[in-house]
Amino acid sequence: MTKKEQSALRLGIINRVFSAVMHILEESHIYGTDIWPVNGFKAGSFPDVDENGAYINDTINVKVIAQAEPHMYKVRFNNWNLTEQRIVDQTNQMLLIFGDAVYDNIHFTMEYPEQENDLWLHRDGEQLCAYLDYNFTIN
């Protein structure tokens, strides 16, 4: 397989998994509720920035990683907000939704099960970000 074919295959996997993630979220019990992030779910690791260069909060970023060497198939959710309680509330719901989710023959499992009981929180000034990591397999 050429590098171009490998790249196309990898991008196809990323697109398929991202679509599955968004489908699961849109069909979940949080869609349309006050738990849903005000600025939505976005692709990538970081939220958009405002005119002052500050992150736009109440955004959950979704990053899909699909690589062969080293082998890694992972989805990372980065939950950006200003208040820890909002992050906790949203993260608890994400844990329920993706605890052992399957859609389109894609199976999601926690990469670090200890995240269920210990929120991984990063603080950058006033900005807070919580991380959730899921492995995925395609059957």
Q: What is the CATH number of the domain that holds 99?
A: 3.30.2000
Helix/strand/coil percentages in the chain, nearest 5: 30, 35, 35
Give the integer Cα–Cα distance in Å for 30 and 53: 29
Sign of CA dihedral 11, 15, 16, 20: positive
In tens digits, what is the pLDDT along the chain, a chain of 139 residues?
A: 888 988 898 999 999 999 999 999 999 999 999 999 999 999 988 888 889 887 888 999 999 999 877 778 999 999 999 888 999 999 889 989 998 899 999 999 988 877 776 777 888 777 888 889 999 999 8
Q: What are phi and psi of 39, to 5 degrees?
A: -100, 15
- What is the span of the domain harbouring residue 51? 3-138
Number of domains in the chain: 1
Sign of CA dihedral 133, 22, 10, 78: negative
Q: What is the pTM of this model?
A: 0.88
